[in-house]
Structure 1
Amino acid sequence: MNADGEQTDPMVPDAVSEETARELRRLGWKLALARAALAWERLWPALWPAAGIGGAFLALALFDLLPGLPIWLHGGILALFAGALATALWRGARALALPGISAGQRRIENTTGLVHRPLTLLRDRLASGTDDPAARDLWRLHRLRTIEKIRGLRIGFPSPGLARRDPLALRGLLIVILVIGMTIAWGDGANRIARALAPGVGGVVKGPAVVDIWITPPAYTGIAPIFLTAGKERRNKGTPAPLLASAGGIAAVAVIKGPIAIPEGSTVLAQLSGGWGTPQIVIGTKETEFKPVAEGTFKLTATIDMAPNVKQIRVIQAGREIGAWPVFLVADQPPVVSFGEAPGGSARGALRIDLEGSDDYGFAEAKLIIRRARMGGEEVKEEIPGLTKPPADEGKKDNGAKAARTAAMLAKLNVVKILELPLPGANIKDLKETSYHDLTAHPWAGLEVQVQVVAKDAAGQHGVSDSVTITLPERRFRHPVARALVLLRKRLARDPESRDEVWEALANLGTIPGAYDGDTVVFLSIQIMARTLAGDHGFDAIADVQEMLWETALWLEDGKLSQAERRLREIQKKLMEALKNKAGNAEIQKLMRELERAMAQFMREMMKGLKNLPNWARPFDPNSRSMSAQDLQRMLDRARELALTGNLDAARQLLSMLREMLENLRSGRFAMGRGRGQGQSKAWRMLQELQDMMRRQQELMDQSHRQSRQGMGQRPSTKEGARQQGDLKKQLQDLLRRFGEMMGKVPKSLGDAELAMREALEALRKSRPGEAVGPQGKALENLRRGLGQMAQQFMRRFGRGRGRGRGRGMFGRRPGHIPFAYDPLGRQLPNAGMTSADDVDIPDETETQRAWEILQELRRRAGEVGRPDLEMDYLERLLRRF
């Protein structure tokens, strides 16, 4: 035995035995490879039928052909393939026989070309002659020669001999088909194989899993829906970028890069088709399963609530991620609101509220909360005619029952007052609005109150301003009896237990009818109020008497004007609410007509009052107001046109301007004429004169344009146009002289207008109307600019005066505003905004006319019979808002 534990041949020297052992060890691994090659040559021919059958089925599955077949045929094919595969495997297993050691030796010997089986000799022993030294030497020499011969053994490659069994080389064709199938089914191979193995499951669903997600922010945000998609990598290389859909949802208008900003409260609508298994959507850490809606189609609807851990939206199916998108949620911020200026009153006693604020998505509503600053105890500083003063010590008596009754009555009389504040439009983000509120009829007028603004956005969040203590504006009455009645009303508001004193005062007033010119209405009202207070001690009686006191005072002071004013304000409020709530066109037009009638009635009553005033109290000749009435009517007509074309926000803003102008007319009825002097009347006439010049310049420019088109190839007569242009230039020069004498500095724009008129005049004198159009247009534009500059200079000169307008000057406005917001052509004047709500652009007349023409065309097409249903649906959606 040698060092490796092998039995040595005693007849062979040790050196030969050691070399034989090493050669046998070297032969062992080659013998194993030879046996494996023989096994493959026997196994592959036996299994080739089964492999061909399996490859054919795999090709059908990768091409996704089986799911489209009827269930019975699909199942039959599956059964056929299964039976054929089982038969082929059984027959191959029977024919399979593993090769032994001798077979491996024979393969090596045959492959290497050895004869006489030398590999067997290495394990042979000398059978006889072991005692003969010569025999042993010969045996040793033979083995050495054999070892030397087998040093270059070869195994050779397996050769199963399939070419004899497959002379048409179908195996190569099958391999090519499988490669093509794997290429087509790349990324979806497992799903296709699963559908091929399950008849009736994949009959409808084809292709890879595809998910589409629509994220719709809340409507109040005004943000377009966001469209996400994934699972279409075969057609779109890489992960598709999220898209920001158009407002109509028809096409994408932008590609979002980076994390997607999603407002809280957004709605998620997801739909997935294809794939295998029920998918889930993961928003942050919240996982929600899709619901099946059809074979292979799933749907999900969810709401994205605010959470700190929402940083990604993922869709998962059968453990596989279909798509993932980085997101971050945007929380809705509460609105911020404040008073732009301290609340104050106009000359007519209307409460002016300057509101400022901001919100991320816009305001939904704003309310003014008014509370009594103190409950009783205020002193009446003015002496009331006919009121008997109580003894000095009477007010000091301690009467617990009376105090309790007074407190209860004050609580009823002093319920918190809530006013709806108008907004310039829907979803205004930056709010800057001025509104007027007539609270002179409220019992608190003239008393200290606390006012506070509460704003709400569309998400329901509230913002609150600081509380401000003011004296609620009250109207100043000129008639002594009207003044006395208002003071009695205020006395009842302060102390309901003073009803006896008020009754006594009313009774005394009833005995002196000469104080109110024997007016029967006033006399009967005083008698009714006195009897009511004397006979009814309830709370309702005090409220009724307070209302009658106010109505009687208004009748004494204004007659029918107060009724017209109240009616005008009521209709204004209704119309603004209708525009805010997007009411129907018929309702808006009805309110427009009512507003027109109420405004005309108010103007008539106001003009009657102006004519009855003494000369010193008139702000100017009443006839000079005709231009203002035309401006008001023109603004109302523009608002009606805007509402007809569906531009409700612009109509609402224009009506807000109109409302402010009417308030200034009310305020200016007396304030403009008190101690203002003749300078302001001159300024007003200059502004009106300049407006008239703008109108005439526009007419001349239109005339020159017509003449240039009609006189092609000949010289038209422009003598009359030149004369009119010359007169207009002289009128402007005279206006500049008077303005310079009055104000010292002439606006540069008006000087440029005069130069442009001179150029136009020269062209007209040469019978060249076409060359005059350009300078005339420049002159018109400079006149418009100059009108704004003139108004601003007048504001600086006359803007500070007496009265209760908080320094708003002769026109009752802040510096920088002028009485006419539009020139005679309907265009807005520069720096002449009538309101501070600049978030809505008011279209000019050209844009309005174009919108009206488009609307009429849409209505015409919608009325035509025979148009496709799709087009009719589209037209109906466009017309729905009108």
Structure 2
Amino acid sequence: MARQETPLTSVMTRLRWPLTLTWAGLIAERVSRAFWPLWTLIAAVAAALMLGLHDFLSIEAFWFVGVAVAVAGLVFAALGLRRFHWPRRAEAVARLDSAMPGHPLAALADSQAIGGGDAGSEALWRAHRARMAERAAQAKAVEPDLRLSTRDVFGLRYVALLGLMVALVFGSVWRVGSVGDMAPGGAALAGGPAWEGWIEPPGYTGLPSLYLNDQTGEIAVPVGSRVTLRLYGEVGALSVAETVSGRTGDLGAASDAEQSFDIVSNGELRIDGPGGQTWEVSALRDLPPQVEVAPEMGDVSFDGQMSQPFRARDDYGVVGGMARFDLDMEAVERRYGLAVEPEPRAPIELDLPMPITGDRAEFSETLIENLSKHPWAHLPVTLQLKVEDAAGQAGRSAVREMHLPARRFFDPAAAAVIEQRRDLLWSRENGKRVAQVLRAISHRPEDGLFRSETAYLRLRVILRRLETLVDHGGFDAEARDTIAEAMWDLAIILEEGDIGDALERMRAAQERLSEAMRNGASEDEIQRLMDELRQATNDYMRQKMQQAQRENRERQQDGEQPNSDNSLQMTQQDLQDMMDRIQELMEQGRMAEAQEALEQFQQMMENMRVTEGQGQQGQSPGQQAMEGLAETLRDQQGLSDQAFRDLQEQFNPNSQSGQSQGNEGRSGGQGQGQSHDQPGQGQGEGQQPGQRGQGQDQAQQGQGGQGSLADRQEALRRQLEQQRGNMPGGGGEAGEAARESLDRAERAMEGAEEALRGDDLGEAIDRQAEAMEALREGMRNLGEQLAQEGRQQQGGQGQARGQPGQQQNDPLGRTPGQGQQVGTQDNLLQGEDVYRRARELLDEIRRRSGEGERPEVELEYLKRLLDRF
């Protein structure tokens, strides 16, 4: 009887392929769930064999592990067979039907239970079956669920799979065959004896290992290389003979399965037996490193920092080094404080700098150190460099005779203090002699020897402390070092004065700005640090100009010509332009170039020397006002020092009587004023005739007591009032701030004058300090105003730019053309508007490059602009 055709039958005929795939997925699900421990074990064992881990096991351990793996495999296989159930066709149909909405296959297999014979009900049933048939015709194979996370909670299958992948990449399938060699009577015995060998050079050489099976004839390896040999097969069939290790004593049997030794000399390495081989081994000696001091002399910066270049090399690389300075006693001129026997002092040992990156086999570096405070500064020494390699071998340079590089002091008083400091550090026996010399220096000193009363008082304090320690037997090494440090600080004050503080402030500002650039600080922070650097640079330049003025006055008094060399000249505007360039690079995000420009600016500022022009011809009113304010500040400092000394004498009368009559009562910095004990003498040499204002002339009247100080304070106040009235005009915040600061200084001077007339020296000193601080603030503001005016004039219309006697620029700031060129290639726009416009353009480019709807050609062009700028 023919099978009745139903809608389900025709649908199942069309769904044969999706149903077959669903059935296969069920098989995969059940196989993976039942046998995943077995195939995980198989993958792990295959990875271990391909990586050759079994070669590190003994025969017993190998067989123990092998039996355990076999037992585990049988257990996992049995458990898998027990859990596995072959899927039936009905299960595949149910899986396929459950994946479709409404279960259309089950609906097609149903028959109408009620409503038979009713035409409406039968029509509805036929429509339902037709809809289910259409839905069933769209059936697709159901993907199997192969997730095993609920069964393999530790992910062991992934660990095994990872090991297998590593073995396929770094291992070898052929290494699995060596398992048979570990079986008794296995492939090793059947195929005859075999061997393997390696030579591993020392790790510090960086050379690769050598596989002896691939080497023939002669072999050259470094001394200390490790030889490893493994013999397989019947014991005694192969043996090792060698003359390269130099071993004696208990060497073991020549036929041992595994042998290791180091190569220490040239010789022969031989494997005797079937398939044996012979090599002639050359042991390469590790040569000691070499180092030499560069023939060119090292540089010494103005503050005594030494830069000594050197060169080093080694066959495998230098790991470290040291520079040693020894005192050359035979070359020391033994006189004055150096005539006594020196106290024992260890040589100076400094670590040599090594390259951070790159090859250390041959390199050149520079030893940088500041030894200015060392007792051997400027004394004859011998320098020898020593370097070491990884093998512990050392190499030394030839001994070089030299004077220990250190800072030089050109001020006579500072040089004398440094010399006595050296004698004190040479031997404590010089303590009494040093005290006598210091007393001679400070007794009735010449005008101008000490820059300020404070420096003189510090010298007297050091002298008294030294005399007390020497007289009472408490002058030990610790006290000696403390006094030496105080003498060093005093010498720095005598040598630099205020310029040292200005230099340190400028260095600190440069370091803070450099660190901010490296750390990616915000724009506001960088702008604040840039303003701080500008202010510190202006202060330093002002101090340098004052120093140049003093030096030129001293040269004129000695009948010498002022400094006027042909070195490169730079103006204050040039320095401002350099700082503007640094700020422009930072605003554009070019931090590397900004860092390099900042380092060049720092080096130039530290090594620059400011010279003073002849007379004051060509000085602008602003520059003259700046010089006048600087002179007023020095006079105010002198009055403050005088008031401080008088305040000391109120509490300790006659404390300095007979010690420094020629210097008591000095006005300070420039040596103006009168002696306290000898009124009417001691006019300083701080100014040339004709350079003092009317107020300064009045300041010389009535000297000799507190009333004279009040009169001099009044005269100084009137002088400041006159200077404030003669300040050049010009608007701007800086100019207004300068006038306000000078007004505060004038009020503070008036308060100091009233305090002096009321014999209140403490209050007077406080008001004088306020006046000096206000004067400094006014000078800074005036300097900023002058710089702004210079920039405005530089970019103004109708004015030619350039130094007198040099090539002039046209009113637009362009240099004349050269050759066939007309005009200049320089930018015509300058100032803050250019920077603002550049930022706006860069922001606009970034905005447009982020709009994806723009054409591809335009986006690529915008990207190239961003990469470039």
Which protein is bigger by CA-based radius of gyration? 1
TM-score, with normalisation over the residues of structure 1?
0.37
More contact order relative to length (CA 8 Å, sep ≥ 6):
1
TM-score, with normalisation over the residues of structure 2?
0.38
